């Protein structure tokens, strides 16, 4: 380049160097500042970390396509606005709608063990399913990949994976009796009997066992229906002998590990 144009060259080089810096400053100005209580003196400590979810809740969308579900999860609908952290399509595609660190509106009223504000303590995963059709294998494969990622990153116990109906019996019925909980258990996810099923001893209390697992006991018939969906793949609201064997096995497992429902927060 000829000498008379050198000042212009220096200008363009300087502008080129300044552009990324200005972009960083602009983004910093847009980033939300930490919220400090105005009535207290801010004396920051480095001894903290982000709140971690301790539970994963699986749902079905009860809609007819991933596109329809994505619309519902991103807008206000007749029941009010809802969301989830993830949606897994029946083709196996994984969508994320809410950051893992944020509180999605997926669980609603209900509780699991000592966790009473489930939204604040959990990650919600919706599965593209109309509630009547079988779940596709490619969808379950993607779910297993997602569960491995989430449990590893957030150190969520792999037993702490439940269905929406487990925490809200009678109010919700998803993911329903068609969901393959046993397949998840074979991959290492969810609570499932790992010992031989035997008759419980005299005096065994199945309701205490259901409460130990985490189930609400406000409506016992509804709780049994949710338990049947999860562990038997069937309907019915009355406990039978096989239920007692399953509950005895689960209570023995939980007794050996000190329980399965840490408090939220």
Q: Which residues are catalytic?
A: 126
Per DSSP, the three-state class of 4 is: helix
Across the beta sheet with 86-88, what order do the strands follow? 94-96, 86-88, 122-127, 55-60, 161-163
CA-based R_g, the chain, Å: 25
Taking the C-alpha atoms of residue 163 and residue 57, their distance in angstroms, rounded to an integer, is: 5
DSSP, residue by residue, 116-142: --HHHHEEEEEE---SSSPPPHHHHHH
* Distance between CA atoms of residues 134 and 145, nearest Å: 19
Contact 226, 265 (CB under 8 A): no
Whether the Cβ atoms of residue 83 and residue 98 lie closer than 8 Å to each other: yes
DSSP 234: S
How many Å apart are CA 123 and CA 105, to the nearest integer? 10
């Amino acid at each position: 380049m000829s000498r008379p144009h050198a000042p212009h060259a220096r200008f363009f080089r300087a502008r080129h160097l300044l552009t990324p810096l200005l972009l960083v400053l602009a983004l910093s100005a847009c980033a939300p500042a930490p919220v400090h209580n105005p009535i207290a003196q801010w004396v920051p400590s480095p001894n903290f970390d982000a709140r971690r979810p301790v539970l994963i809740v699986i749902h079905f969308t009860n809609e007819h396509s991933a596109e329809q579900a994505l619309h519902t999860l991103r807008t206000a609908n007749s029941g009010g606005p809802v969301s989830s952290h993830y949606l897994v399509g029946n083709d196996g595609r994984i969508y994320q709608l809410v950051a893992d660190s944020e509180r999605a509106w997926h669980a609603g009223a209900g509780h699991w063990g000592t966790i009473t504000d489930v939204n604040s303590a959990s990650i919600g995963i919706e599965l593209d399913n109309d509630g009547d059709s079988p779940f596709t294998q490619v969808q379950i494969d993607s779910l297993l990949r997602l569960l491995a990622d989430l449990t590893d990153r957030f150190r969520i116990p792999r037993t702490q994976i439940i269905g929406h109906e487990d925490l809200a019996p009678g109010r919700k019925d998803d993911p329903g009796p068609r969901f393959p909980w046993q397949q998840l258990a074979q991959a290492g996810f969810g609570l499932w009997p790992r010992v031989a099923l035997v008759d419980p001893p005299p005096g065994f209390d199945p309701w205490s066992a259901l409460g130990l697992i985490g189930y609400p006991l406000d409506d016992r018939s509804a709780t049994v229906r949710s338990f049947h969906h999860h562990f038997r793949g069937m309907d019915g609201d009355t406990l039978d002998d096989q239920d007692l064997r399953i509950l005895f096995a689960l209570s023995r497992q939980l007794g050996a590990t000190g329980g399965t429902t840490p408090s939220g927060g």
